[in-house]
């Protein structure tokens, strides 16, 4: 592979990382902050009893990065709401189709900007054409059933693993980007995940997998050593 192709491939996925901006891996991502809960004391649980109307949902925790990648956080970007992303988090899944125009506009822009670089990197976008003549119908048919409504679904009659459910070790963002950007008749779903530019897996070992028994979590990292005392 030429240095030009390597550089182009690196640029594509560096840009994708900026686009996603995964400060959190929840479905909406980047919701508004909430009022801190009073601390728990004496082993008791603090159970809030106010009516549901007193609370505001700040993150849907649905599909990964949908709000972060496809909806704007700019004030006033959603008429009648603060912004598109917070509006999605506060809405109910039954109303998610109302966000499709904003999602389509963002996805079109992403494919217009990334399509040429994806091709140089040896990947086939799900879009055809370029610039104002771009057609993203295939991309929409691939990704829309996954992200609208913005919920995690699980079918017991299908193999498990995102997008059917979500395992601890599923490369969910890579797979979501494949649905949104790549022609999946050409590439496998894990085409982006398998690129050598991806960081290694858990704890620096790509083959490391979560335990298969409850609580499915690895041992906690040891406490870091305290810093040395300040001079003087």
Distance CA 187, CA 178 (A): 9
User: In the chain, which residues have pLDDT < 70?
Assistant: 1-44, 199-207, 232
pTM above threshold 0.75: no
DSSP 43: T
**Tens digit of each residue's pLDDT (9 = 90 or more) over 166-202:** 888 888 999 999 999 999 999 999 999 888 777 666 6
Burial class (CB in 10 A: 0-12, 13-18, 19+), 215: exposed
H-type alpha helices, the chain? 3-20, 66-70, 84-90, 100-120, 137-147, 172-181
H-type alpha helices, 62-211? 66-70, 84-90, 100-120, 137-147, 172-181
**Chain position carrying tokens 């779903």:** 189
Tokens of 46: 């603090």
- Helix axis angle, 3-20 relative to 100-120, nearest 10°? 160
**Tens digit of each residue's pLDDT (9 = 90 or more) over 77-98:** 998 878 999 999 999 999 999 9
Q: Of 179, 154, 195, 165, nearest to 6 (Cα)?
A: 195
């Amino acid at each position: 592979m030429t240095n030009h192709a390597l550089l182009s491939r690196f640029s594509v996925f560096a840009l994708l990382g900026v686009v996603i901006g995964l400060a959190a891996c929840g479905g909406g991502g980047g919701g508004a902050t909430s009022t801190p809960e009073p601390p728990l004391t004496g082993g008791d649980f603090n159970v809030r009893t106010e009516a549901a109307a007193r609370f505001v949902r700040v993150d849907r925790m649905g599909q990964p990065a949908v709000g972060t990648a496809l909806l704007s956080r700019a004030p006033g970007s959603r008429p009648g709401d603060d912004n598109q992303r917070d509006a999605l988090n506060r809405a109910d899944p039954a109303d998610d189709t109302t966000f499709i125009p904003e999602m389509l506009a963002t996805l079109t822009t992403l494919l217009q900007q990334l399509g040429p670089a994806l091709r140089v990197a040896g990947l086939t976008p799900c879009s055809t054409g370029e610039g104002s003549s771009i057609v993203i119908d295939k991309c929409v048919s691939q990704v829309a059933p996954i992200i609208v409504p913005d919920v995690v679904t699980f079918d017991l009659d299908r193999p498990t693993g995102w997008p059917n459910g979500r395992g601890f070790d599923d490369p969910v963002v890579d797979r979501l980007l494949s649905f949104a950007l790549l022609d999946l008749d050409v590439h496998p779903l894990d085409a982006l995940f398998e690129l050598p530019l991806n960081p290694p897996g858990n704890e620096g070992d790509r083959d490391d997998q979560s335990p298969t028994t409850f609580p499915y979590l690895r041992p906690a990292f040891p406490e870091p050593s305290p810093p040395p005392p300040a001079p003087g």
